[in-house]
Amino acid sequence: MARGIYIHIPFCHQICNYCDFNKFYFKHQPVDEYIEALGQEMALATAKYPKHFRHIDTIFLGGGTPTALSPKQLDKLLTLIQMYIPLESVTEFTSEANPDELSADKLQVLFDGGVNRLSMGVQSFDQGLLQKIGRTHSNEHVYETIALAKKIGFHNISIDLMYGLPGQTMAQWQDSLGQALALDLPHFSAYSLIVEPKTIFYNQYAKGKLHLPTEDLEADMYDVLMQQMELQGLQQYEISNFAKAGFESGHNKIYWDNDEYAGFGAGAHGYLAGVRYSNHGPLKKYMDAVLAGELPIVQQHTVTQTEKREEQMFLGLRKTEGVVHKIYEEKFQAPMTVHYPTVIENLVAKGLLEHDHKGIRLTRKGRFVGNEVFQQFLLED
């Protein structure tokens, strides 16, 4: 059963230097036809798997940039979602957004269409760093858009921040954190830069032209992040996410709980009926498949029991609460200590994991080397 739905809008007015998601420049793209194709895909999927869409908790519009669409296009998209997805049970409906694209008209269309959470890509409050990473908004856009969103009725607003950016200093990071926290929002996400293949930054890095902070400085930035969030009363509920009580991202928790969700759109990924799948990325291939009456799946993989256990561990350990004994045993009919006896014992001895009657979780020390911890739970089938 799907708990959530992810819908991919692969269009951007500006391509960020670090982004490796499936995306296309907005101009000269078949945007209207793509929205119609999304509706067709939702119709095909809900008809083929009706039981999986009876009770949906969350919907997430991602990209690309959903707010690259015009108000009319957003309205059409939301109308199609309402047509095929039962919204009665949906408690969280998120749209990603760029601060310089959220006009009053777009915000009103989103609000009227059922969206009740905004996730804004702010990344930094340093204009020089924003230009380096390919962002086009200003701090004024951020302040004005948040004020406008609140006026229209949005109270669940999150912003993304990034650290470990090219040439970024600790002073710049602390300043961005301070300006972000001064907004008094209920949720923040903060990610370190990862230089991914097929990005502008990757090409610069390969040529020796991308100058990044040292690993020690990046670790110090993460340390400052955790300290400042705690001082502001924001609970760290996941490695990179902080929230006031009751404002945790329900959609992302579906991923970290290793539960199932549907993915719609070009390049979208999903996990249904024990099968992980991905859609065609190129627009033409995606749209041709849908128009032919076929689900646009290009790859699918039935997850083995061993893989499910591994995913339960490395996804669950991203959460501050970690992996809960009771939930693990309900899913796999055995304690996790049976499947990972020495792994857990060794990580506890190194001070990277805590282990008690509730479950296991990363220590504060373990959060700095999370990926190294997660790798210990990847066993051969």
CATH code, 108: 3.20.20.70
Q: Tell me the CA distances in angstroms from 362 to 36, 194, 219, 223, 315, one per residue in order.
A: 44, 21, 16, 15, 12
Q: Are 337 and 239 in the same domain?
A: no
Whether residue 81 lies inside any domain: the answer is: yes
pLDDT, tens digit (0-9, with 9 covering 90-100), for 295-338? 999 999 999 999 999 999 999 999 999 999 999 999 999 999 99
Residue 278 lies in a domain: no
Q: Is residue 261 part of a domain?
A: no
Residues of the chain with pLDDT under 50: 381
The answer on 240 and 336 residing in a single domain is no
The percent of the chain in helix, strand and coil, each rounded to the nearest 5, is 45, 20, 35
Domain membership flag for residue 64: yes
Work out how many domains the chain is built from and give that number.
2
Q: Do 366 and 235 share a domain, yes or no?
A: no
Q: Do 143 and 33 lie in a common domain? A: yes
Residue 338, judged by CB atoms within 10 A of its CB (0-12, 13-18, 19+), counts as exposed
CA angle 355–357–359, rounded 5-degree value: 50
Q: Are residues 244 and 343 in the same domain?
A: no
SS3 195: coil
> Do 245 and 357 belong to one domain?
no
Which of 205, 238, 256 marks a domain boundary?
256
pLDDT of 381 reads 41
Do 64 and 159 lie in one domain? The reply is yes
Per-residue DSSP letter, 260:
-
- The last residue of a domain, from among 197, 221, 256: 256
Residue 272 lies in a domain: no
Q: Residue 76 has what pLDDT?
A: 98
Could you list the residue range(s) of the whole structural domain that residue 368 is in? 323-375
CATH number for the domain harbouring residue 327: 1.10.10.920
Buried b (16+ CB within 10 A) or exposed e, 127-158: eebbebbbbebebebbeebbeebeeeebebbb
Cis ω on the peptide bond leading into residue 62 (within 30° of 0)? no
Q: Does 279 reside within a domain?
A: no
Spatial distance between the Cα atoms of 366 and 372, rounded to a whole number of angstroms:
9
Question: Does residue 136 lie within any of the structural domains?
Answer: yes
Task: State the pLDDT at residue 246.
Answer: 96
Classify residue 104: in a domain, yes or no.
Answer: yes
357 and 209, same domain (yes or no): no
Are residues 200 and 329 located together in one domain of the fold?
no
Q: Same domain for 201 and 335?
A: no
pLDDT (0 to 100) of residue 18: 73
User: Quick one: 10 and 125 in the same domain?
Assistant: yes
Same-domain status, 213 and 335: no
> At which of 256, 271, 289 does a domain end?
256
